[in-house]
Amino acid sequence: MAGPRGEYRKSAERRAQILDAAFDVFSRDGYTAGSVSEIARVVGISQTGVLHHFAGGKPALLQAVLEQRDARAKLLLEGRTGRDFLAGLVEISRTQESRRGLVQLYRRLATEAVDASHPAHDYIAVRFRRIVDAVTDAFAEVAAEGGLRPGLTPRAAALRAVAVTEGQEVLWLQGFEIDLAADIRSFLDSLLLEPL
Amino acid sequence: MAGPRGEYRKSAERRAQILDAAFDVFSRDGYTAGSVSEIARVVGISQTGVLHHFAGGKPALLQAVLEQRDARAKLLLEGRTGRDFLAGLVEISRTQESRRGLVQLYRRLATEAVDASHPAHDYIAVRFRRIVDAVTDAFAEVAAEGGLRPGLTPRAAALRAVAVTEGQEVLWLQGFEIDLAADIRSFLDSLLLEPL
């Protein structure tokens, strides 16, 4: 007999199914063209069923998809500092290679969300700041150990590393022959006195 | 009395007005949200009047706006090779700083147009290839004079230079304190044995 705990588990499973479907639909169609009705269709439930789990509708679904993605990256970088943190960025780049749809979704969002009226505007702005700050900290730790190439501030190194990561994704999505992980590693190496 | 030549000049002026308005509207609203009716309103004519000059409608207007932008860049790079060409890229970056709307429009397009069904898909794909090829040629010329940092192929240097340019625009639009021209110059210098 399914007691309250069974109900809770069932609800959590349904929520996870909806999140997976939202991930797939947004990755394929983008945020603007992706629809709650299509997400409901993929799960095999009604739109009302989707909205029962995500009362905020499409913006709430998008936020949950992005938070899931970020949680994975955060887990991978947890407790890592300096060169070890930078090596983690290379690992994240490697996982992107099998997630073309998500990379495209993220790029679309980062571009659309420059407009202050976009539902993901604050999320994207805060996210960029957090990333640049975390990478700056890592380069500062490397610099403290004397490992940063002379003439570079940790901030300048971080801005450039993030710019290269973003720009490589743009070219990769355009179909250029780019090995995201190898390329960002080689770029980071060019900022360091000893390769990663 | 306005003869055929007067009519022709008047028509060319009207066309240029429409193009300026399309530039402003697309820069402000993006391609998807920008409308021919808004462009007509800015010029102070009817939609039919706009379509008289740009029979292909919105896609034709977009193409004309982008071609005008590219024509300016091409003019600036005309006849330049090697290091002189690379210095031209820095000059183009400097002109971008006063054209935030156009940079945002271009970024939006480059992102949306990854989809093969987008009206600017072929234009953007061809444009990226031309840029990377031209920058590769410039680095090959630098390499032939022994000026490229060892261990870098002209192609790898070009892909990275274009990635940095694209990525810096992403961060700049997000509001990071980036000097586009100074930064791309300093990046190009890091690939060369002698600074530009």
- What distance in Å separates the CA atoms of residue B14 and residue B21, rounded to the nearest whole number? 11
Judge whether residue A31 has pLDDT over 80. Answer: no
The predicted structure's pLDDT at residue A155: 96
Q: Does A171 touch chain B (CB under 8 A)?
A: yes
More confident residue, B114 or A148: A148
Judge whether residue A1 has pLDDT over 60. Answer: no
Average pLDDT of the residues in B95-119: 81
Superfamily of domain B1-64: Homeodomain-like (1.10.10.60)
Average pLDDT, chain A: 89
Per residue, what are the HEC states of chain B?
Answer: CCCHHHHHHHHHHHHHHHHHHHHHHHHHHHHHHCCHHHHHHHHCCCHHHHHHHCCCHHHHHHHHHHHHHHHHHHHHHCCCCHHHHHHHHHHHHHHHCCCHHHHHHHHHHHHHCCCCCCCCHHHHHHHHHHHHHHHHHHHHHHHHCCCECCCCCHHHHHHHHHHHHHHHHHHHHCCCCCCHHHHHHHHHHHHECCCC
Q: Which of residues 9-68 of A touch B (CB under 8 A)?
A: 30, 32
Task: Tell if the CB–CB gap between A108 and B112 is shorter than 8 Å.
Answer: yes
- What distance in Å separates the CA atoms of residue B183 and residue B196, rounded to the nearest whole number? 12
Q: How many CB atoms lie within 10 A of CB B143?
A: 17
Average pLDDT of the residues in B124-130: 92
Task: Tell if the CB–CB gap between B114 and A173 is shorter than 8 Å.
Answer: yes
Structure tokens at A53: 């789990």
State in Å, rounded, how far the first CA of chain A is from the last one: 55
Determine the longest span between alpha carbons in chain A, in angstroms: 68
- Which of A39-43, A187-191, B4-8 shows the lowest mean pLDDT across its residues? B4-8
More confident residue, A34 or A48: A48
Nearest to B166 among A108, A114, A167 (CB): A167
Q: How confident is residue A4, by pLDDT bands cut at 50, 70 and 90?
A: low
Q: What is the pLDDT of residues B14-45, one digit of tens each?
A: 999 999 999 888 877 777 778 999 999 999 99
More confident residue, B76 or A33: B76
The predicted structure's pLDDT at residue A97: 83
For chain B, the structural domain boundaries read 1-64, 79-196
Q: How confident is residue A22, by pLDDT bands cut at 50, 70 and 90?
A: very high
CA B111 to chain centre: 14
Judge whether residue A90 has pLDDT over 80. Answer: yes
The predicted structure's pLDDT at residue A42: 96
Q: How confident is residue B8, by pLDDT bands cut at 50, 70 and 90?
A: confident
Q: How confident is residue B99, by pLDDT bands cut at 50, 70 and 90?
A: confident
The predicted structure's pLDDT at residue A133: 97
Task: Tell if the CB–CB gap between B168 and A167 is shorter than 8 Å.
Answer: yes
SS3 A92: helix
The predicted structure's pLDDT at residue A25: 87
The predicted structure's pLDDT at residue A5: 74
| Chain B residues touching A124 at Cβ < 8 A | 174
Average pLDDT of the residues in A82-88: 97
The predicted structure's pLDDT at residue B135: 97
Q: What is the pLDDT of residues B41-56, one digit of tens each?
A: 999 999 999 999 999 8
Judge whether residue B194 has pLDDT over 60. Answer: yes
Mutation target vs A (from B171, B184, B191; most A CBs, 10 A cutoff): B171
> Do B194 and B146 contact (CB within 8 A), yes or no?
no
Judge whether residue B139 has pLDDT over 80. Answer: yes
Task: Tell if the CB–CB gap between A164 and B163 is shorter than 8 Å.
Answer: yes
The predicted structure's pLDDT at residue A63: 82
Task: Tell if the CB–CB gap between B170 and A171 is shorter than 8 Å.
Answer: no
- What distance in Å separates the CA atoms of residue B72 and residue B65, rounded to the nearest whole number? 11
Domain A79-196 matching CATH 1.10.357: the answer reads yes
Average pLDDT of the residues in A5-12: 83
Structure tokens at A180: 């995201």
Judge whether residue B1 has pLDDT over 60. Answer: no
Architecture of A1-58 per CATH? Orthogonal Bundle (1.10)
The predicted structure's pLDDT at residue B2: 53
Judge whether residue B133 has pLDDT over 80. Answer: yes
